C-alpha cells in the first residue's frame, strides 16, 4: 500500500470511529427530524403507529382470506413481516439521501460523514420502536410458543440495523454522485416488497421455494420473524445474513475509503 | 494550549460540474460497456478550479484579511480551512480549534424552540451539550429574547433569529476564527453589543481569517492581507 492510500484509509477509519462515538450528535439530529415531521400534531410520532395499525387491520383479514390462511397465524405473520419491511425499506430509501440531504452541513463543517448515515439508521430505529408497540400488543393477543429462540429476534433487528449502516454509506455515496440511483432503488424496493415473503409464505411456493431463498431479504425477515412466531430460524438464514453483512461492509468500506473526500464536492 | 498554525501547501480545489448527463448512471454504464467511445464525450465534464495552487503559512497573532472578487475563491478557501472540503491536490494543515462563522444560522430548526436551537447549533459547531449547558443562561440573556426562548423559532422576527444565532455562535472560544464578512446583527443598540462581543472573540483568537470585499474593513481589523484572483494567491503582505 502506498502512502496516499494509507492516508485515505486512516482518514476514512477516523471518520467512522469519530462518527460512531459522536453519540451526542446523530441521536439528536435523528430526534430533531422526527419531531420536525410531527411538531404540530397532537399525537406526534404515534401517528406512525396508528397508520401502520390501520393498514395491518385492513390488510390482515383481507389477505388472510385471499390466501386462505387461518387468521390466528396469518395476522402475526403479516404484521411482524410488514413492520420489519418498513424498517428495511426505510433504511434503504432514506440511506440514498443520507448525504444529499445533509449538503449544507457537509459543505461547511468538518463533521464526520458517517454521522449522516448513523442519523438515518437511528431515525429508522425510532420509527421502528413506534411500530413495535403494535407487535407487542399483537403478541399478547396471539402469544407465540415460548422458547429461547425468542431471544434471537433482537439480534436479528440489530443485524438489520447494522446492514442499514453499511448500505447507507454505500448507496448514500452512490446516490450523491449519480442522481438517478435513488429513483432506481425506489422502484426496486417497490417490486421487492411483492417478491419478498412479507404477505405470503415462502412454503406456499411449493417446490419453487428456492426462489424465495435466493432473495437475501427473506433471510433478514426470517431471523426476526421466525423466533417471534416460535419457529426455529433455519441455520442458512443466519449464514446469509452474516455473509451479506460481511461482504456489504467490505464493499461499503472500500468505496468510502476511496471516495470519502469527494462526497463534499458531489452533494 | 498548543500553538495554532495553518500551513497551506499548493492547495488545489476543483468542483466538478455535473449536468444531468454526467450524473446519470446510464452514461457511466455505457461508458464502461462501450469501451470508451462514448466515454470521451460523457467524461468530459466541466471543472471549476476554485483554488489553483495556493500556498501560505499563518501563525499565531495573524489577522488575515482575504480580498478578492466574487468567485475568486475566498469562500472556498474558508471552507477548506473549516475542514469541509479536502483539497484535490496539495495539503492544508490546520492546527488548533477552529470556529467557523461562515453561516451562523446553519442547522437551526425553525420549528424548534429557541432553547432547543441553542443546543442544536452548539452540537453542529462541534460542541457537546454538556459544554454549552453552563452557558445557556448567558446566551439567553445576551440574545435578549426573554420568554421567547421557549417559543418555536418560526415565531421570531428575522432580527430575533439572528440575535439568537449570533449569541450561540459567539459564545465559544476559538483558536482559529473564520469569518465570511464581518458579522453584524440587530438594531443600533444590539449591534453595538454584538460588535463588542465579536471584538472580544477576535481578540482572543490566535488566528483570524476574514474574507471580505471591503478593503477598509480589512485594513482596520487585520494585520495581513491576502489577495485572491481566479483561485490564485496574487499577494500576501502585511498591512
A177 touching B, CB under 8 A? yes
Least CB–CB distance from A36: residue in B85, B102, B109:
B109
A132 reaches B (C-beta below 8 A): no
Which of B24, B98, B125 is facing A180, going by the closest CB pair?
B24
Partner-chain residue, chosen from A29, A110, A180, that has the shortest CB–CB distance to B84: A110
Question: Given CB atoms, is A103 within the 8 Å cutoff of chain B?
Answer: no
The phi, psi pair for B99, rounded to 5°, reads -115, 120
A148-181 pLDDT, tens digit each = 788 889 999 999 999 999 999 999 999 999 999 9
pLDDT of A20 > 50? The answer is: yes
pLDDT < 50 regions, chain B:
36-42
Give residue A145's pLDDT. Answer: 75
CB contact under 8 A, B84 and A104: no
Return the percentage of chain A with pLDDT > 90, whole number: 77
Q: What is the ipTM of this complex?
A: 0.85
Touching check for B154 and chain A: CB below 8 Å?
A: no
List all residues 6 or more positions away from A254 whose beta carbon is below 8 Å from its beta carbon: none
Residue B237 CA to its chain's centroid (Å): 23
Q: What is the pLDDT of residue A108?
A: 92
| Chain A contact set for B83 (CB, 8 A) | 109-110
Taking contacts as CB-CB distances below 8 angstroms, the residues of chain B near A108 are 79, 82, 84, 100, 102-103, 106
Question: What does the pLDDT look like over B100-122, one tens digit per residue?
Answer: 898 989 989 999 999 999 999 99
The C-alpha of A27 sits at a distance from chain B's nearest C-alpha, in angstroms, of 11
Distances in Å between the alpha carbon of A29 and those of A23, A35, B47, B119, B154?
Answer: 10, 10, 33, 11, 19
Interface probe for B, chosen from A173, A178, A179 (most Cβ of B below 10 Å), is A178
Q: Which residue of B has its CA nearest to A264?
A: B85
Query: What one-character-per-residue DSSP string does chain A give?
Result: --HHHHHHHHHHHHHHHHHHH-TTTHHHHHHHHHHHHHTTSSSTTHHHHHHHHHHHHHHHHHHHHHTT--HHHHHHHHHHHHHHHHHHHHHHHHHHTTTGGGHHHHHH----THHHHHHHHHHHHHHHHHHHHHHHHHHHHSPPPP-GGGGHHHHHHHHHHHHHHHHHHHHHHHHHH-TTHHHHHHHHHHHHHHHSTTSS-GGGGGGGHHHHHTSHHHHHHHHHHHHHTT-PPPHHHHHHHHHHHHHHHHHHHHHHHHHHHHHHHH-
Residue of A23, A24, A175 to mutate, interface with B, max B Cβ within 10 Å: A24
pLDDT in tens, A177-221: 999 999 999 999 999 999 999 999 988 888 998 999 999 999 999
The answer to whether residue B69 neighbours chain A at the CB level (below 8 Å) is no
pLDDT of residue B23: 64
Q: What is the pLDDT of residue B41?
A: 46
State residue B36's pLDDT score: 44
All residues of chain B having their beta carbon less than 8 Å from the beta carbon of residue A178 are 23-25, 28
What is the mean pLDDT of the segment spanning A224-250? 94
Cβ contact, residue pair A36, B102, below 8 Å: no
CA distance A31 to chain B (A): 11
Instruction: Give the pLDDT mean for A63-74.
Output: 89
To 10 degrees, the CA torsion angle through B202, B208, B212, B218? 70
Best of A45, A187, A265 to substitute, by most chain B Cβ atoms within 10 angstroms, is A265
Amino acid at each position: 500500500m502506498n502512502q496516499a492510500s494509507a492516508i485515505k484509509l486512516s482518514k476514512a477509519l477516523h471518520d467512522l470511529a469519530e462518527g460512531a462515538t459522536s453519540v451526542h450528535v446523530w441521536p439528536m439530529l435523528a430526534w430533531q427530524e422526527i419531531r420536525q415531521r410531527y411538531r404540530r400534531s397532537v399525537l406526534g410520532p404515534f401517528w406512525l403507529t396508528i397508520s401502520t395499525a390501520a393498514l395491518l387491520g385492513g390488510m390482515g383479514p383481507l389477505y388472510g382470506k385471499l390466501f386462505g390462511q387461518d387468521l390466528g397465524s396469518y395476522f402475526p405473520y403479516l404484521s411482524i413481516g410488514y413492520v420489519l419491511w418498513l424498517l428495511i425499506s426505510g433504511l434503504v430509501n432514506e440511506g440514498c439521501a443520507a448525504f444529499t440531504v445533509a449538503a449544507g452541513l457537509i459543505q461547511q463543517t468538518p463533521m464526520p460523514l458517517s454521522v449522516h448515515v448513523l442519523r438515518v439508521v437511528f431515525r429508522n430505529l425510532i420509527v421502528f420502536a413506534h411500530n413495535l408497540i403494535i407487535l407487542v400488543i399483537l403478541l399478547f393477543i396471539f402469544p407465540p410458543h415460548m422458547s429461547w429462540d425468542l431471544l434471537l429476534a433482537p439480534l436479528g433487528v440489530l443485524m438489520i440495523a447494522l446492514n442499514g449502516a453499511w448500505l447507507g454509506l454505500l448507496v448514500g455515496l452512490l446516490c450523491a454522485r449519480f442522481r438517478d440511483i435513488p429513483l432506481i432503488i425506489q422502484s426496486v424496493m417497490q417490486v421487492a416488497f411483492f417478491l419478498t415473503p412479507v404477505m405470503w409464505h415462502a412454503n406456499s411456493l411449493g417446490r419453487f421455494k428456492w426462489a424465495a431463498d435466493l432473495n437475501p431479504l427473506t433471510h433478514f425477515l426470517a431471523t426476526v420473524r421466525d423466533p417471534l412466531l416460535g419457529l426455529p430460524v433455519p441455520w442458512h438464514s443466519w449464514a446469509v445474513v452474516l455473509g451479506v453483512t460481511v461482504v456489504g461492509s467490505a464493499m461499503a468500506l472500500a468505496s468510502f475509503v476511496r471516495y470519502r473526500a469527494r462526497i463534499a464536492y458531489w452533494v | 494550549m498548543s500553538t495554532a498554525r495553518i500551513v497551506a501547501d499548493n492547495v488545489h480545489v476543483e468542483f466538478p460540474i455535473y449536468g444531468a448527463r454526467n450524473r446519470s448512471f446510464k452514461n457511466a454504464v455505457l461508458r464502461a460497456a462501450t469501451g470508451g467511445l462514448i466515454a470521451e464525450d460523457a467524461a468530459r465534464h466541466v471543472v471549476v478550479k476554485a483554488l489553483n495552487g495556493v500556498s501560505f503559512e499563518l501563525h499565531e497573532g495573524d489577522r488575515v484579511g482575504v480580498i478578492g472578487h466574487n468567485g475568486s475563491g475566498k469562500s472556498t478557501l474558508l471552507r477548506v480551512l473549516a475542514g469541509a472540503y479536502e483539497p484535490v491536490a496539495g495539503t492544508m494543515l490546520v492546527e488548533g480549534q477552529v470556529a467557523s462563522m461562515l453561516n451562523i444560522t446553519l442547522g437551526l430548526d425553525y420549528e424548534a424552540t429557541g432553547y432547543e436551537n441553542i443546543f442544536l447549533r452548539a452540537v453542529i459547531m462541534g460542541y457537546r451539550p454538556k459544554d454549552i449547558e453552563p452557558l445557556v443562561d448567558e446566551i439567553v440573556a445576551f440574545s435578549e429574547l426573554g420568554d421567547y426562548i421557549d417559543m418555536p423559532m418560526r415565531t421570531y422576527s428575522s432580527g430575533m433569529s439572528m440575535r439568537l444565532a449570533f449569541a450561540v455562535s459567539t459564545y465559544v472560544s476559538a483558536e482559529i476564527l473564520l469569518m465570511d464578512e464581518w458579522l453584524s446583527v440587530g438594531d443600533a443598540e444590539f449591534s453595538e453589543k454584538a460588535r463588542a462581543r465579536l471584538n472580544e472573540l477576535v481578540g482572543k483568537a490566535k488566528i483570524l481569517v476574514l474574507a471580505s470585499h471591503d478593503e477598509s474593513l480589512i485594513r482596520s481589523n487585520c494585520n495581513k492581507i491576502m489577495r485572491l484572483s481566479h483561485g490564485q494567491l496574487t499577494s500576501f503582505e502585511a498591512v
